[in-house]
């Protein structure tokens, strides 16, 4: 990249024999002491092996859970260090209380996980004393954890101010994908925003109307927008107190030349349950005892046609209550259209959000998307147009 705003592993020189502090996301789900999903561990492989193969002493920094400054056996990273070793296919060491002399004794090319950074009371306070104490352990700092970049903590932000700082491979890929999707995208750009509530995504919606050409609203939040336009949504999930807000978002979209797409047919049921009796109706025909659980197939067809005219798609939030069949149909169908357009090379597609990732996996579409972010909170803050402190520190 010509005008790259941050340094990457390509810019690291003379690291053989030197300790490199690498912030990773090891905050994996555990069940009965076993890692139940190793997606995040696999995301570390590129950076950790590249640095170890360059004969650095790799020191992995990460948090696990919310110990709030107190050490405990339950939240130790020790078992996760072992699981990381399995994923990497090489030995991974562990240091409970790291000091420079212990680091100096490590072998070149070794990988060592340091204990849960949040055991230190200073971590979440970005405490200058802890920054100095940790910086003394390494000669370089690499941040490879985009998912933690919305926090200004010692291991996510502070260290970048005192050590030569670089983006790891996973961070680099994430930043490039996000840049292509919203930073400097090819137009026309479509955004799909779905999920349960408008209130949780107000800032996302307000930011997107200024950035994208088409805003596709689905999920429970579409009901609030429909209600704002005078539609009776019956017993649907709907934030009636936010109808004024919804109207001002629609006005802002108009002013910014952003076309908002609301569904004109919807799938309704009387029970919020898998397999509930349901019918597809025009939005003006929702019964007073019915709730909208998905958008209709005519709406999905129209939205597919919109995506066919677009070069870029950013997606957060399912279009319906996708966890319950058959209310997954719209999400699955539109995801498969986006996946096909991406495969054909006409669309750059980026998606993120906990339930969104689950929905795209359910649709068998995730692997065809250009990029799927597992970053949750950091992804949403980025969709809100916020500057992430961990990213900003790398750009400085």
Catalytic residue positions, numbered: 40, 197, 354, 377
- Closest by Cα among 287, 293, 346, 25 to 155: 25
Q: Is 179 near Mg ion (CB under 5 A)?
A: no
66: exposed, middle or buried (C-beta count within 10 Å: 0-12, 13-18, 19+)? exposed
Among the candidate windows 9-17, 37-45, 257-265, 314-322, which touches ligand ADP by CB under 6 A? 314-322
Q: Is 321 near ligand ADP (CB under 6 A)?
A: yes
Give the contact letters, 353-372, x = binds to ligand ADP (CB under 6 A), - = no: xxxx----------------
Name every residue whose Cβ is closer than 8 Å to that of residue 100 and which is 6 or more positions away in sequence. Answer: 136, 137
Among 82, 127, 355, 395, the residue binding Mg ion under the rule CB under 5 A is: 355
Structure tokens at 60: 């992995």
DSSP string for 130-196 = HHHHHHTT-SEEEE--GGGTTS--TTTTGGGGTS-EEE-HHHHHHHHHHIIIIISPPSSEEEEE-SS
Q: How far is the CB of 140 from ligand ADP (least distance, A)?
A: 34
Q: How far is the CB of 8 from Mg ion (least distance, A)?
A: 31
- Closest by Cα among 217, 224, 285 to 253: 217
Partner that binds at residue 304, options Mg ion, ligand ADP, none, CB closer than 5 to 8 Å by kind: none
Among the candidate windows 41-49, 119-127, 189-197, 366-374, which touches ligand ADP by CB under 6 A? 189-197
Residue 313, phi then psi, degrees to nearest 5: -135, 135
By beta-carbon proximity to ligand ADP, the closer residue of 159 and 321 is 321
Are the beta carbons of 148 and 26 closer than 8 angstroms? no
Q: Is 237 near Mg ion (CB under 5 A)?
A: no
DSSP string for 320-332 = S-TTSTTTTHHHH
Are the beta carbons of 51 and 58 closer than 8 angstroms? yes
By beta-carbon proximity to ligand ADP, the closer residue of 84 and 231 is 231
Q: Is 196 near ligand ADP (CB under 6 A)?
A: yes
Name every residue whose Cβ is closer than 8 Å to that of residue 31 and which is 6 or more positions away in sequence. Answer: none
Q: How far is the CB of 59 from ligand ADP (least distance, A)?
A: 33
Among 122, 185, 263, 320, the residue binding ligand ADP under the rule CB under 6 A is: 320
Among the candidate windows 83-91, 114-122, 137-145, 350-358, which touches ligand ADP by CB under 6 A? 350-358
Q: How far is the CB of 195 from ligand ADP (least distance, A)?
A: 2
Provide the CA 248 distance to its chain's centre, in angstroms.
27
Helices and strands, number each (H, E), in the chain = 14, 17
Among the candidate windows 9-17, 42-50, 176-184, 190-198, which touches ligand ADP by CB under 6 A? 190-198
3-state helix, strand, coil in the chain (%, to 5): 40, 20, 40
Q: Is 362 near Mg ion (CB under 5 A)?
A: no
- Residue with nearest beta carbon to Mg ion: 355
Give the contact letters, 198-217, x = binds to ligand ADP (CB under 6 A), - = no: --x-----------------
> Which 280-309 positions form the footprint of ligand ADP (CB under 6 A)?
292-293
Are the beta carbons of 151 and 159 closer than 8 angstroms? no
Provide the CA 61 distance to its chain's centre, in angstroms.
20
Q: How far is the CB of 354 from ligand ADP (least distance, A)?
A: 4
Among 164, 354, 376, 377, the residue binding Mg ion under the rule CB under 5 A is: 354
CA distances from 18 to 7, 97, 106, 107, 138 (A): 18, 19, 10, 10, 7
> Which 230-249 positions form the footprint of ligand ADP (CB under 6 A)?
237
Name the β-bridge partners of 265: 282
Among the candidate windows 71-79, 188-196, 255-263, 338-346, which touches ligand ADP by CB under 6 A? 188-196
- The contact set with Mg ion (CB under 5 A) reads 354-355
- The contact set with ligand ADP (CB under 6 A) reads 194-196, 200, 219-220, 237, 292-293, 316-318, 320-321, 323, 353-356
């Amino acid at each position: 990249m010509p005008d790259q705003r941050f340094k990457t592993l390509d810019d690291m020189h003379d690291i053989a024999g030197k300790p490199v502090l690498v912030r990773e996301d090891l905050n994996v789900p555990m069940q009965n002491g076993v890692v139940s999903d190793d997606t995040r561990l696999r995301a570390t492989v590129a950076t950790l092996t590249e640095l170890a193969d360059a004969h650095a002493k790799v020191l992995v920094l990460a948090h696990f859970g919310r110990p709030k400054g107190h050490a405990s056996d339950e939240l130790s990273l020790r078992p996760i260090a072992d699981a990381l070793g399995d994923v990497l296919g090489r030995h991974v060491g562990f240091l409970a209380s790291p000091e420079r002399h212990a680091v100096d004794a490590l072998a070149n090319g070794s990988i060592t996980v340091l204990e849960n950074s949040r055991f230190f009371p200073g971590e979440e306070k970005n405490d200058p004393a802890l920054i100095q104490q940790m910086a003394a352990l390494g000669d370089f700092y690499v941040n490879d954890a985009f998912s933690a970049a919305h926090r200004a903590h010692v291991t996510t932000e502070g260290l970048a101010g005192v050590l030569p700082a670089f983006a790891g491979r996973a961070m680099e890929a994430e930043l490039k994908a996000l840049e292509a999707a919203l930073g400097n995208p090819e137009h026309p750009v479509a955004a799909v925003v779905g999920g349960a509530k408008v209130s949780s995504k107000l800032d996302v919606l307000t930011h997107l109307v200024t950035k994208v050409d088409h805003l596709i609203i689905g999920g429970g939040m579409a009901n609030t927008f429909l209600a704002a336009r005078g539609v009776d949504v019956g017993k649907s999930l709907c934030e009636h107190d936010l109808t004024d807000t919804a109207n001002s978002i629609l006005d802002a979209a108009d002013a910014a030349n952003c076309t908002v797409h609301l569904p004109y047919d919807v799938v309704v049921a009387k029970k919020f349950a898998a397999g509930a009796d349901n019918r597809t109706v025009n939005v003006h025909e929702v019964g007073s005892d019915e709730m909208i659980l998905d958008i209709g197939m005519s709406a999905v067809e129209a939205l597919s046609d919109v995506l066919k005219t677009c070069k870029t798609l950013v997606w957060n939030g399912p279009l319906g209550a996708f966890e319950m069949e058959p209310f997954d149909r719209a999400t699955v169908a539109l995801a498969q259209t986006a996946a096909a357009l991406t495969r054909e090379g006409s669309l750059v597609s980026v998606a993120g959000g906990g339930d969104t990732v689950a929905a795209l996996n359910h649709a068998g579409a995730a692997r065809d998307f250009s990029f799927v972010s597992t970053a949750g909170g950091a992804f949403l803050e980025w969709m809100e147009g916020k500057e992430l402190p961990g990213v900003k520190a790398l750009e400085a």
